[in-house]
Structure 1
Amino acid sequence: MIHIRTRQTSHFTVLANRLAQRAGSAVTVGVAAYILSLPDGAPITIAALCAHFAEGKKAIAEALRELEDEGWLERRIERGPRGRIITRTFAYDLPGAVPQEPTAPQEAAPEPSPEPAVPASPTPEGAAEATPEALGLLTRLHQRDHRLLLSEREITTLAPAVTEWLDRGAPPQEITAALTDSLPARFNRRPARLLAHRLTALRPPTRTAPPPQPDRPPVVPLQNCDGCDRAFRAERPGRCLSCRTPERSHLAA
């Protein structure tokens, strides 16, 4: 093979060899290249991708799942205007890169929740429902360790366990510390598996509020006796009990 190269100054996309030469499905590489060529704000739902490619929903969903698992894509749940929960998708030209905040951020249009690539497992009976506080806590973990960039599916899966910690009385700071302290230097698997293990193994017992303390009588302040200068307890200055007795008053006179 001989390359015939042309210098391009616009309308081109740079792809890492790690992606372009990725072994496996050509659909996955093609979907990744197409997504990286799109401008910010473009929709990349399964329906939008199926409108561009000839492959069906199953192949596109599998390609998105592989890209998420390998870190090329990240779906993050955030709170949008008026408290609405929205999904933002981040496309990485290299997995593991820390996303940079734009200098002049614009409110992106909310992206519909993606169709599941694989059937979602049902929530176990009695498990806590995911709350916005739990979703937000998991979304912010990468601020403590940039390796903890979780996909939308991982956040949704872990959120019920975090909600259970919150229901047991654990404050958010304690949960964040339990998930991020003393992490290994290298991850041999997706960090979500490590987080799931910690949420199960370190789950705290249910904490009950301490019983209310009985009301204590007010403490009477100390006063210095105007007669003998001894300390005694009274609401206001004056003489102590000894100085107020007739015998002590007669002797003092």
Structure 2
Amino acid sequence: MDTQQNTALTRALAEVPGPLPTSGVIHIAIPHTDRFTVVGNHLAQHPDLSCTAVGIAVRIQSLPQGIEVGIKALAARCREGEKRIAAALRELEAFGYLQRVRNRLPSGRVITRTVFCNQPTALLHPRSPAAAPTPPRAPAQTETPAPAPAPAPETVQPMPPAPTGPTGPPGPSETPSPEAPARLSVPPPQPQPQLPQSSPFVPLPPSLPLVPPPTAPKPPPRPLPRPSELTPELDRAATAFLSDLHRNAPQFMLSETDVRQLVPGVAAWLERGAHPDAMRHALTDDPPVPLRRPALLLKHRITELLPPPPPGLQELAALARRPRITVTPFQTCDDCDRAFRSPTPGHCRDCREHRNEDMRTAA
């Protein structure tokens, strides 16, 4: 009997947008409607956290408020032992995801509070609360007011400086009435929220990277590297390399214009002694799926992964002139088996002194 096929999986694979990758994982993304937790890629793909620490962080983040997340409580919920869980908690604490603070209760008892932050770098730049919208002023009545004595002249107050922050079109309350003196009412600045003294949040370690604001201007892209001199040999070799990329990586089918634009960058790699096979792996391995603009990806990798120039004759000569440090090896004493440093085997210092005393005594 033939092997039974999973029609549901086949149907799901057919609905994946774009061409399927020839190798690696294939994602079938089905949206969640209930019982899900949002986890950032800064945690899921953290380069310095172990998989155990990432899994423990996801487990803690999925638990509701007030659940005990100590070492013994997590060991009862997970298959890992207490030692691995304790090591994972220390990793999360070192990178700011987890904080354990000791608080003293009114009764005098000291307890440990555990605080988990799903995005610790965001605490370095807290967002200021948006100002409350000003309610619109009621429209003036159309009745003709009764004649009244002329009001006394009022002292014109200087306008306070405009508050810093996002600006926008003035609201209805900011338009001066033609029957009232021209005066703008500026709302008082909103006080920044402050944490109470008993708050469990503590300052994060300064080793965490600063997160630029979303409106910060992006730095200009780095220019494509160029060789010191684009010789005809380098031009032909770089053109042949780029034209032949699609044989090993079919996604990188380049046009003639793309090849001419990328030739100086590839020539800079060849000038620095890069091997064509190493270049091909560095520039074409693990491309995004689907790959929409292969020339733009190649330009980015050629610029960012440029190898350093090979050392010159002066650097090699300086390296050869560097004095070498001779390390004296360890030896084992023939009498007491004690380890000592000496270029030749024999006896340690104490045994030599005892032998000299014995010889003097015998003499």
Name the TM-score class by shorter chain.
0.3 to 0.5
Structure possessing the higher radius of gyration over alpha carbons: 2
Give the TM-score taking structure 1 as reference length: 0.39
Give the TM-score taking structure 2 as reference length: 0.28
